[in-house]
Chain A
Amino acid sequence: MTFHPEMRYEEGLHVSRRERRDEGEPFAFTPENRQRLEAIASHYPPEHRRSAVIPALYLVQDQQGYVTASAIRHVASVIGCTEAEVDDVVTYYAMFFRKPVGRYVIQVCRTLSCALRGAERVAAELKRALGVEVGQTDPTGTFTLMEMECLGACDRAPVVMVNNELWHECQSPDQVGAMLDGLREKGPAALTGCHLEVEKKRGPAGP
């Protein structure tokens, strides 16, 4: 049985997506992060602490860059749920990293509005400049390249996000090298920001 009579599954199309999880160093939240987590957990009824799983995983990434098996066990024990429940969340959401990443994770939007204004070429230039494929980290450990789906700022296409929270808008394919150099030399200050941040720097422009 297949989903559709003409769709042949035997063509080697179904590769198991299971990857071995990285055990990593033994993990525990720093006291500050533990405190931050408890502050967030207080937003939910005590019997629904599980609502704080996503915030807890962000704190793991803040602390050690990516989510390891050891961190998953720690989160499960702190939240009071099973490891499988935490793993379920880690493997579902695009913003959790399950492998070590570079200092800057470059997340290029590839969806329609960005693609119509050159996002495919931005991604291609990034691959060329860094010598990596999507999902890989360059040999210096500085940059990891990722592709994202619509980031919700399509009027500033093509949009690039860095490290899940910094933004860079209207990235032209020809200026990819300049963005990378800027990050190397000046760090996040080299990024434009998005919408309001850009207007604050430049003064209000048209809509």
Chain B
Amino acid sequence: MDPVLTSHIREPNGHTLEAYLRRGGYSGLRKALSLPPGEVIEMVKASGLRGRGGAGFPTGMKWQFVPKDSPKPKYLCCNADESEPGTFKDHVLMERNPHLLLEGCAIGCHAIGAKVAYIYIRGEFYHVQRVLEAAIEEARAAGFLGRDILGSGFDCEIYVHRGAGAYEAGEESALLESLEGKRAQPRIRPPFPAVVGLYGCPTAINNVETLCNVPLILTHGPEWFASLGPEKNGGPKLYCISGHVEKPGVYEASMHVTLRELIYGYAGGIRGGRALKAVITGGSSTPVILPGQIDAQASFDGLLKAGSMLGSAAIIVMDDTTCMVWLAENLLHFYRHESCGKCTPCREGTDWLLKILHRIEAGDGSMRDIDLLLSVSRNIGGKTLCPFGDAAIAPVVSTIQHFRHEYEAHVREGRCTCPAEWREMGNRGPGARA
């Protein structure tokens, strides 16, 4: 499949309105504005577009849930928080193709009847915020945003809202809290944001990559879109490949692609020709899988079958020098730090998981600790308001499932049995418990 989302991203000045218009930009918006909102939603539904933020929920259906007859204003929120570890695709899209996102936001607003869209961007992406704001200025000046867009009578404003460093702000209801000027903590659902969202008004929340696909559907048609990938997994997909590969980066492919093709083809194989040990397929919140499973199709449904998830399509590759206890410890440091503190199982549980992992990795663990990790995990999984809790235990449960022997070796030998030269070993290396 030839890239469509990222076809021109290496062109100098490819991010400008002029370049975008030369590529046929904003024709999707023109088309959308000539149709009633319901028909735009039908087109998106027919394309089979599924959310690219993590859950893979059908976008058209999400838009349809926004009540048409509500007297309240409606909002579109673009989730540009991109903080799932291993994910950096929205970064590239916004930085190099900002008008595609703006066009997607405007079409989304038209479809759900919103006049305002907020792009919630993570605080660390200040450089990207400036690119987006410059693009918004360009689009307004050219009549693609603002009042009476293209003479259709449709008004739409897009604002960029900068977060300030919080992973949980990417969770959709926590994102709304953060946008309202509060701590990013999830809300109890129902009611769902489609009905009671931002400022208590009907709100659609979509990921950056999801919205970037919308203009393509309008321009090329839903059939074209669906035909790009396997059934129910249509459209182009961006994959973020990082870790121990020769060429880490963002790669665009159809979801027919397999993990093997992505890792050994696109990303050039394992760094230094070493052996593959494990792969995370959809960001740190998805279970670790083994080399034997990399012939799985890297689609929503393909990876589910392989025992993991497509998630945010963040593929993190580990070679044979990687200690799996260390990996779980590294990620639990992340989850402990980022737990928003609202639900007790997650707030307390991630703290305990990290402590236990730390003592096993440092060579001070006991065999019982391994089962204790699983027991604590069971007290978190499914017991929280948002899926953060399930995400946090994925690295622990899946590494114990596949690499229990490695945990046991740490306990038996009283040290990290898999030290690597790229780590800072401190007092964990051979002979740690001398």
Chain A positions within 8 Å of B, measured between CB atoms, are 2-4, 6-7, 13, 43, 45, 48, 50-55, 57-58, 79, 81, 85, 88-89, 92-96, 110-113, 115-118, 120-121, 123-124, 148-157, 161, 164-165, 167, 193-197, 199-200, 204, 206-207
A138 to B96, CA, bound (A): 37
Interface centre among A3, A152, A154, A156, by most B CB within 10 Å? A152
Q: Tell yes or no: B163 within 8 A of A by CB.
A: yes
Nearest Cβ distance between residue B278 and chain A, in whole angstroms?
11
Q: In the complex, what residues of A have CB within 8 A of residue B338's CB?
A: 149
Q: Is there an interface contact between A153 and B91, defined as CB atoms closer than 8 Å?
A: yes
A155 to B85, CA, bound (A): 11
Q: Is there an interface contact between B87 and A152, defined as CB atoms closer than 8 Å?
A: yes
Closest B residue to A50 using CB positions: B181
Nearest Cβ distance between residue A85 and chain B, in whole angstroms?
7
A206 to B268, CA, bound (A): 11
Q: Which of A54, A112, A124, A150 contacts B243 (CB 8 A)?
A: A112
Q: In the complex, what residues of B have CB within 8 A of residue A157's CB?
A: 242, 248
Interface centre among B73, B251, B422, by most A CB within 10 Å? B422
Nearest Cβ distance between residue A11 and chain B, in whole angstroms?
10
Q: Tell yes or no: B431 within 8 A of A by CB.
A: no
Closest A residue to B372 using CB positions: A6
0/1 interface trace, chain B 89-122, chain A, CB 8 Å (1 if under): 0111001100000000000000000000010001
Q: Which of A2, A52, A167 contacts B127 (CB 8 A)?
A: A167
The 9 closest A-B pairs by CB, nearest first: A94-B165, A93-B164, A50-B181, A155-B248, A95-B165, A154-B242, A120-B424, A165-B126, A53-B181
Q: Is there an interface contact between A124 and B424, defined as CB atoms closer than 8 Å?
A: yes
Q: Is there an interface contact between B250 and A118, defined as CB atoms closer than 8 Å?
A: no
Q: Is there an interface contact between B95 and A43, defined as CB atoms closer than 8 Å?
A: no
Q: Is there an interface contact between A3 and B348, defined as CB atoms closer than 8 Å?
A: yes
A94-B165, A110-B330 known, 18 other contacts, Cβ within 8 Å: A4-B376, A6-B372, A6-B375, A43-B159, A43-B161, A50-B181, A51-B161, A89-B164, A92-B166, A93-B163, A111-B331, A112-B334, A116-B422, A120-B424, A150-B83, A155-B250, A161-B124, A204-B10
Q: Is there an interface contact between A88 and B183, defined as CB atoms closer than 8 Å?
A: yes
Q: Is there an interface contact between A150 and B180, defined as CB atoms closer than 8 Å?
A: no
Q: Is there an interface contact between B180 and A94, defined as CB atoms closer than 8 Å?
A: no
Interface centre among B167, B181, B330, by most A CB within 10 Å? B181
Q: Tell yes or no: B162 within 8 A of A by CB.
A: yes
0/1 interface trace, chain B 232-255, chain A, CB 8 Å (1 if under): 000000001111100111110000
**Chain B contact residues, majority secondary structure:** mixed
Q: Which of B91, B180, B247, B318 contacts A50 (CB 8 A)?
A: B180
A168 to B114, CA, bound (A): 38
Closest A residue to B368 using CB positions: A6
A91 to B92, CA, bound (A): 30
A53 to B183, CA, bound (A): 11
Q: In the complex, what residues of B have CB within 8 A of residue A206's CB?
A: 247, 249
Closest B residue to A203 using CB positions: B12
A4 to B327, CA, bound (A): 24
Q: Which of A52, A88, A92, A149 contacts B85 (CB 8 A)?
A: A149
- Report if A111-B85 is in contact (Cβ < 8 Å); known contacts: A94-B164, A157-B248: yes
Q: Is there an interface contact between A48 and B180, defined as CB atoms closer than 8 Å?
A: yes
Q: Is there an interface contact between B161 and A149, defined as CB atoms closer than 8 Å?
A: no
Q: In the complex, what residues of A have CB within 8 A of residue B125's CB?
A: 152
Closest B residue to A200 using CB positions: B12
Q: Tell yes or no: B224 within 8 A of A by CB.
A: no
Q: Is there an interface contact between A195 and B91, defined as CB atoms closer than 8 Å?
A: yes
Q: Is there an interface contact between B242 and A54, defined as CB atoms closer than 8 Å?
A: no
Nearest Cβ distance between residue A200 and chain B, in whole angstroms?
8
Nearest Cβ distance between residue A135 and chain B, in whole angstroms?
13
Q: Is there an interface contact between B337 and A92, defined as CB atoms closer than 8 Å?
A: no
Nearest Cβ distance between residue A84 and chain B, in whole angstroms?
11
Contact residues, B175-202 vs A (CB, 8 A): 178-184, 199
Q: Which of A54, A88, A111, A154 contacts B330 (CB 8 A)?
A: A111
Q: Is there an interface contact between B243 and A58, defined as CB atoms closer than 8 Å?
A: no
A2 to B344, CA, bound (A): 10
A132 to B60, CA, bound (A): 52
Q: In the complex, what residues of A have CB within 8 A of residue B73's CB?
A: 45
- Report if A150-B375 is in contact (Cβ < 8 Å); known contacts: A48-B180, A113-B242, A116-B316: no
A205 to B219, CA, bound (A): 31
A6 to B355, CA, bound (A): 13
Closest A residue to B157 using CB positions: A43
Interface centre among B12, B85, B87, by most A CB within 10 Å? B85
0/1 interface trace, chain B 76-92, chain A, CB 8 Å (1 if under): 00000011111110111
Q: Is there an interface contact between B124 and A164, defined as CB atoms closer than 8 Å?
A: yes
- Report if A3-B344 is in contact (Cβ < 8 Å); known contacts: A89-B182, A151-B124, A153-B91: yes
Q: In the complex, what residues of A have CB within 8 A of residue B330's CB?
A: 110-112, 115
Q: Is there an interface contact between A154 and B85, defined as CB atoms closer than 8 Å?
A: yes
Closest B residue to A56 using CB positions: B181
11 CB-based A-B contacts, threshold 8 Å: A53-B181, A54-B161, A54-B164, A92-B183, A93-B123, A93-B166, A94-B165, A116-B243, A117-B422, A148-B165, A207-B247
A57 to B123, CA, bound (A): 12
A151 to B166, CA, bound (A): 11
